[in-house]
């Protein structure tokens, strides 16, 4: 089975597309395979798998972690969701730019965004489940977020009045984050995957 990738408008954010075998019984796919990820320039080691379930209109994000740095490979296993990654790397030519795409079990796409990106999603179907493989173990002392509707970022969310946690409603702006010393944890590299 072969994994393929599709570039996006932002360096290092990649759509990963697994090959799917379908027959009358259903389907089979390899979501992650170390040798193929290595050959594609993607991370080879993931240390945590998270899964969330949310009802229509829920928006989670935009979250990130600086210590240990956490990249995420996101996929939707049930329903439909709009997956988003925002570049928060100082010195990046795409600082503050975002990439978003609709994902579902039917299109089987996954979105890879390394450390230095804030990630989030909103649920478009009645219910959706999202999984993310992470390159770092969660640390509540070294995680934060960017406000979902920060006008400096300007994400064109496909929902207008999302259901949010209080934490996500009161998240900082990108400008506020960039003034914090922790923002120096992420640096831009010209190397493209």
Q: What is the CATH number of the domain that holds 162?
A: 2.60.120.10
79 assigned to some structural domain: yes
Which strand (E) or helix (H) includes residue 95? none
Proportion of the chain above pLDDT 70, given as a percent: 98
* Residue 127 a catalytic site member: no
pTM of the model: 0.93
- 32 in active site: no
- Is 102 a member of any domain? yes
Mean pLDDT of 44-60: 97
Classify residue 192: in a domain, yes or no: no
In a domain, 34, yes or no: no
Q: Which residue in the list 32, 63, 127, 138 is annotated as catalytic?
A: 63
- Whether 113 is covered by a domain: the verdict is yes
Structural domain harbouring 93? 46-185
The pLDDT of residue 193 is 47
24 located within any domain: no
Of the listed 127, 132, 138, 188, which one is catalytic? 132
DSSP state of 107: T
Residue 25 is encoded by which pair of tokens? 């019984």
In the predicted structure, residue 29 carries a pLDDT above the cut 90 = no
CB 36 within 8 A of CB 54: no
Q: How many independent structural domains does the chain possess?
A: 1
Q: Does a structural domain hold residue 190?
A: no
pLDDT at 133 over 90: yes
Residue 119, in any domain of the structure: yes
């Amino acid at each position: 089975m072969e994994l393929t990738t599709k570039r996006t408008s932002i360096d290092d954010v990649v759509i990963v597309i697994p090959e799917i075998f379908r027959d009358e019984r259903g389907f089979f796919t390899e979501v992650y395979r170390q040798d193929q990820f290595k050959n594609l320039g993607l991370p080879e080691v993931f240390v945590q798998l998270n899964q969330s379930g949310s009802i229509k209109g829920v928006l989670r994000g935009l979250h990130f972690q600086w210590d240990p740095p956490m990249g995420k490979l996101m996929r939707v296993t049930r329903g439909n969701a709009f997956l988003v990654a925002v570049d928060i790397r100082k010195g990046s030519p795409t600082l503050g730019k975002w990439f978003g795409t609709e994902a579902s079990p039917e299109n089987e796409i996954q979105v890879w965004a390394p450390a230095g990106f804030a990630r989030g999603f909103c649920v478009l179907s009645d219910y959706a489940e999202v999984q993310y493989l992470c390159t770092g173990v969660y640390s509540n002392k070294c995680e934060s977020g960017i406000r979902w509707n920060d006008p400096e970022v300007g994400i064109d969310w496909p929902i207008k009045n999302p259901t949010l946690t209080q934490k996500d409603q009161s998240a900082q702006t990108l400008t506020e984050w960039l003034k914090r010393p922790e923002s120096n944890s992420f640096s831009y590299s010209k190397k493209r995957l």
